[in-house]
């Protein structure tokens, strides 16, 4: 079997890269997520720990970034991504509602997740009316198995050949899959409540209407495209209209793709480069400060909704703080000790909030409890933030200080807070606001002061109040 480096060098000749890099792979992405989340272990972990309900676009962005690192990188980058995934998955374990233990590191679960990705690639061709020939399937599966080997998935759990994959899929559907809450969420509800994508631009006010149309389209298409065995087991309908929609969408997308130049046809080119640079939303112009009044309650509530409530269920639990730690670590490629430090700091913050804010003792913190207790704590004790928030903020700073200089330069700041969904000008503005002495670097105390001002300043006139964007 060829090495990962061999596949990387194959570049444009790689069938796997050409299939995964196409823009139209998104047409089977939701189908893939439904199949993955129908596995009880995956559904349990996603339902309890994932942020997809409140941040579906960010979750998709992270998934696509991870896929790009796995399938389009050189051997060194591939190894780093594998280590990152192992550290992240090590924290996903527990017991589901039926008392069954689950773990994201379970080899059988990892194999199912990976094989469904291969199956989605073959389905993309089949649904477009051009199923791959046996020789093509063998070639695609050989390239796919190379990455599975790098992930150290047990070879005996993988289907031996491409011809064995359909039987493996049917057997898993029959013997293992369930219509989990997470799978039903993917099918019917996630997009009905999804926030507007940042790149929607001037169409943003129309999102409530567009969201219903997108959700209905995606549900209909996914139901039509799911394997027949899956639909039969769970009595999922596939009417003539859905079948016609699937036929039209997939064949039409293929016909259009064949006419496009590579920079438009591919999201990621087979050589691993992005076909087009990601364009983020332009920053909003600064507004005149509002009349003097205490703006803290609204600002703190916005922080609760936009930053802290990662799972989107309207309450804070330990899962939200683990998700925040994950999102800090994600772009930084930390080692085990570095990640552990970030997770420990966010857990300490959670324990502090739980001790001071959980008024009804239910182990959860509502937005009202958070805002009320935060204001009371700040007004009562000047050191209140030192006992929780500052621990997490200092951990963020030290993790982002990749050269261990004790300072954050603009590039380190962008790595921590940036991404394709944040406009460079907005990042530059944020950096300059926190760089209070204007020396082109942010000290740890300047960084902490910015977060402190966000929670304590009564007006919008100080730099730290703009952590969530310009007022």
At 160-218, the pLDDT tens digits run 999 999 999 999 999 999 999 989 988 998 888 777 776 676 777 888 888 889 899 99
Asked if pLDDT for residue 310 goes beyond 60, the answer is: yes
**Closest to 307 in 3D by CA, of 398, 379, 396:** 396
Q: What is the pLDDT of residue 286?
A: 46
Asked if pLDDT for residue 304 goes beyond 70, the answer is: yes
Q: What is the pLDDT of residue 434?
A: 80
> Mean pLDDT, to the nearest integer, of 319-337?
84
Q: What is the pLDDT of residue 75?
A: 80
- Across all residues in the chain, what is the average pLDDT? 83
Share of the chain above pLDDT 70, in %: 85
Beta bridge partners of 103: 93
H-run or E-run covering 389: helix 389-400
> According to the CATH classification, is domain 296-466 in 1.10.3720.10?
no
Domain ranges of the chain: 4-265, 296-466
Q: Which residue has the higher pLDDT, 311 or 121?
A: 121
N residues, the chain: 471
Q: pLDDT per residue over 379-426, tens digit each?
A: 888 888 998 999 999 999 999 898 889 988 888 888 887 655 555 666
Assigned token pair, 267? 């999201």
In this prediction, residue 7 has a pLDDT band, given cuts at 50, 70 and 90, of very low
Residue 110 phi, psi (nearest 5): -65, -40
Q: Which residue has the higher pLDDT, 121 or 302?
A: 121
Cα separation, 461 vs 471, in Å, equals 9
Q: Where are the beta strands (DSSP E) in 207-339?
A: 315-316
Residue 439 phi, psi (nearest 5): -95, 5
Q: What is the pLDDT of residue 170?
A: 97
Lowest mean pLDDT among 370-374, 384-388, 425-429: 425-429
Asked if pLDDT for residue 279 goes beyond 50, the answer is: no
For residue 219, give every residue at least 6 positions away whose Cβ sits within 8 Å of its Cβ, in sequence order, or none. Answer: 187, 188
Q: pLDDT per residue over 59-113, tens digit each?
A: 677 677 777 788 887 788 788 788 878 877 777 888 888 899 989 889 999 999 9
Beta bridge partners of 268: 274
H-run or E-run covering 329: helix 318-329
Cα separation, 134 vs 407, in Å, equals 56
In this prediction, residue 341 has a pLDDT band, given cuts at 50, 70 and 90, of very high
**Closest to 20 in 3D by CA, of 112, 120, 110:** 120
Query: CA–CA distance from 146 to each of 20, 142, 246 (Å)?
Result: 15, 6, 32
Cβ–Cβ under 8 Å, residues 447 and 434: yes
Cα separation, 129 vs 35, in Å, equals 22
DSSP character at residue 267:
S
Cα separation, 185 vs 207, in Å, equals 20
Cα separation, 220 vs 243, in Å, equals 9
Asked if pLDDT for residue 251 goes beyond 90, the answer is: yes
Asked if pLDDT for residue 128 goes beyond 60, the answer is: yes
In this prediction, residue 227 has a pLDDT band, given cuts at 50, 70 and 90, of very high
Asked if pLDDT for residue 306 goes beyond 50, the answer is: yes
Cβ–Cβ under 8 Å, residues 19 and 130: no
In this prediction, residue 233 has a pLDDT band, given cuts at 50, 70 and 90, of very high
Q: What is the pLDDT of residue 50?
A: 64
Cα separation, 451 vs 449, in Å, equals 5
> Mean pLDDT, to the nearest integer, of 38-61?
77
Q: What is the pLDDT of residue 52?
A: 67
- What is the SS3 assignment for 262? helix
Q: What is the pLDDT of residue 111?
A: 95
pTM over 0.85, yes/no:
no
Asked if pLDDT for residue 155 goes beyond 90, the answer is: yes
Q: What is the pLDDT of residue 426?
A: 67
Q: What is the pLDDT of residue 176?
A: 96
Share of the chain above pLDDT 90, in %: 35
Asked if pLDDT for residue 2 goes beyond 70, the answer is: no
> Mean pLDDT, to the nearest integer, of 284-295?
54
**Closest to 227 in 3D by CA, of 140, 314, 168, 309:** 168
């Amino acid at each position: 079997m060829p090495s990962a480096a061999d596949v990387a060098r194959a570049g444009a000749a790689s069938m796997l890269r050409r299939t995964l890099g196409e823009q139209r792979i998104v047409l089977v992405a939701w189908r893939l997520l439904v199949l993955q989340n129908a596995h009880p272990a995956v559904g349990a972990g996603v339902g309890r720990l994932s942020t997809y309900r409140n941040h579906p676009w960010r979750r998709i962005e992270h998934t696509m970034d991870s896929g790009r690192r796995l399938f389009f990188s050189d051997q060194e980058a591939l190894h780093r991504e594998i280590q990152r995934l192992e550290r992240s998955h090590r924290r996903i374990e527990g017991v589901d509602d039926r008392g069954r233990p689950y773990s994201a590191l379970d080899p059988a679960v990892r194999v199912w997740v990976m094989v469904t990705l291969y199956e989605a690639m073959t389905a993309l061709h089949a649904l477009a009316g051009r199923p791959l020939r046996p020789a093509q399937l063998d070639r695609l599966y050989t390239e796919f198995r190379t990455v599975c080997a790098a992930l150290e998935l047990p070879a005996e759990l993988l289907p031996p050949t491409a011809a064995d994959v359909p039987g493996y899929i049917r057997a898993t559907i029959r013997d293992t899959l369930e219509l989990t809450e997470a799978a039903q969420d993917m099918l019917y509800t996630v997009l009905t409540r999804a926030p507007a994508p940042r790149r929607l631009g001037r169409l943003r006010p129309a999102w409530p209407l567009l969201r219903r149309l997108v959700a209905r389209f995606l549900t209909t298409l996914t139901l039509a495209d799911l394997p027949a065995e899956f639909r039969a087991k769970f009595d999922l309908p596939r009417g003539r209209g859905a079948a016609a929609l699937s036929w039209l969408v997939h064949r039409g997308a293929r016909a259009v793709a064949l006419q496009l130049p590579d920079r438009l046809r591919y999201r990621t080119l087979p050589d691993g480069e992005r076909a087009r640079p990601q364009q983020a939303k332009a920053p909003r112009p600064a507004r005149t400060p509002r009349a003097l009044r205490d703006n803290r309650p609204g600002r703190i509530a916005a922080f609760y909704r936009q930053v802290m409530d990662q799972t989107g269920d309207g309450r804070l639990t330990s899962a939200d703080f683990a998700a925040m730690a994950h999102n800090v670590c994600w772009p930084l490629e930390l080692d085990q000790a570095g990640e552990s430090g970030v997770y420990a700091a966010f857990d300490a913050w959670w324990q502090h909030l739980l001790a001071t804010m959980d008024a009804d003792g239910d182990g959860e913190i509502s937005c009202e409890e958070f805002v009320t207790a935060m204001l009371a704590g700040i007004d009562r004790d000047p050191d209140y933030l030192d006992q929780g928030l500052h621990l997490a903020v200092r951990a963020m700073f030290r993790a982002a200080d990749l050269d261990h200089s004790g300072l954050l330069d603009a590039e380190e700041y962008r790595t921590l807070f940036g991404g394709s969904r944040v406009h460079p000008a907005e990042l530059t503005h944020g950096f300059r606001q926190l760089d209070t002495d204007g020396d082109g670097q942010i000290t740890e105390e300047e960084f902490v002061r910015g977060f402190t001002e966000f929670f304590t300043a009564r007006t919008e006139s100080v730099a730290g109040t703009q952590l969530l964007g310009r007022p």
